[in-house]
C-alpha cells in the first residue's frame, strides 16, 4: 500500500554550498551546488513507502551524496533516504519506509543534506527544512 496524500504541497529545498574544509582556494563559481526535494503529505497505512523526488546540481565530475531525513517533532529521524552519484541519477525518486504502528499522525520535517566533493574539498550543506503532515486514513 502506497502513501498518497490528499494535499500535494510540494516541498522545495534550495541549497548553496560552503566548504567543510578547504586545502586550496576554490572559486565561488566552483563551489556552487543546489538540491531540490519534493514530498507530499501522506496517509499512514501499515508499512508502506512514502515517496519523494529530488534534483541535484553539482559541478560536472564532482562526487555527491544526498541524505533525506523524515524527522519528528522531537528532532529524531524516523525514516531515511539516501542517493549517491554513480548509483542514482541527478534527478529521480526515492522512498521513505514508514509504518503506521511506528509513527504518530502529525507534522514531520523533511530535511535534506547534500554532501559533495570538489577536488580535495568536501562540502556539507543542509537544506532549509520543510513540513509535511502524515495522517491516519
**pLDDT score of 119 more than 70:** yes
Residue 78 has what pLDDT? Answer: 92
In a domain? residue 6: no
Q: How do strand 34-38 and strand 47-57 relate by DSSP bridges? A: antiparallel
Note the pLDDT tens digit of each residue in 72-116: 999 999 999 988 876 678 888 898 888 888 889 999 999 999 998
Specify the pTM: 0.71
* pLDDT classification of 71: cutoffs 50, 70, 90: very high
Note the pLDDT tens digit of each residue in 4-54: 333 322 333 334 444 443 333 344 444 588 888 889 999 888 888 888 888
What one-character-per-residue DSSP string does the chain give? -----S------------EEE-SS---TTTT--EEEEE---EE--SEEEEEEEEEEE--TT-EEEEEEEEE-TTS-EEEEEEEEBTTB-SEEEEEEEEEGGG--SEEEEEEEEEEEEETTEEEEEEPPPEEEEEE--
Quote the cell numbers at residue 43.
496517509
In a domain? residue 102: yes
Mean pLDDT of 120-124: 88
Structural domain count of the chain: 1
In a domain? residue 13: no
Owning domain of residue 72: 19-131
In a domain? residue 123: yes
In a domain? residue 111: yes
Residue 66 has what pLDDT? Answer: 93
In a domain? residue 23: yes
Amino acid at each position: 500500500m502506497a502513501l498518497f496524500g490528499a494535499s500535494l504541497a510540494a516541498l522545495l529545498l534550495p541549497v548553496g554550498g560552503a566548504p567543510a574544509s578547504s586545502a586550496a582556494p576554490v572559486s565561488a563559481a566552483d563551489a556552487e551546488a543546489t538540491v531540490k526535494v519534493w514530498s507530499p503529505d501522506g496517509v499512514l497505512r501499515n508499512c508502506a513507502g512514502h515517496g519523494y523526488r529530488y534534483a541535484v546540481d553539482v559541478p560536472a565530475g564532482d562526487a555527491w551524496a544526498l541524505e533525506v531525513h523524515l524527522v519528528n517533532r522531537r528532532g529524531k529521524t524516523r525514516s531515511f533516504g539516501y542517493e549517491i552519484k554513480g548509483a542514482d541519477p541527478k534527478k529521480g525518486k526515492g522512498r521513505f519506509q514508514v509504518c503506521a504502528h511506528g509513527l504518530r499522525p502529525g507534522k514531520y520535517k523533511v530535511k535534506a543534506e547534500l554532501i559533495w566533493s570538489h577536488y580535495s574539498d568536501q562540502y556539507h550543506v543542509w537544506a532549509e527544512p520543510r513540513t509535511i503532515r502524515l495522517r491516519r486514513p
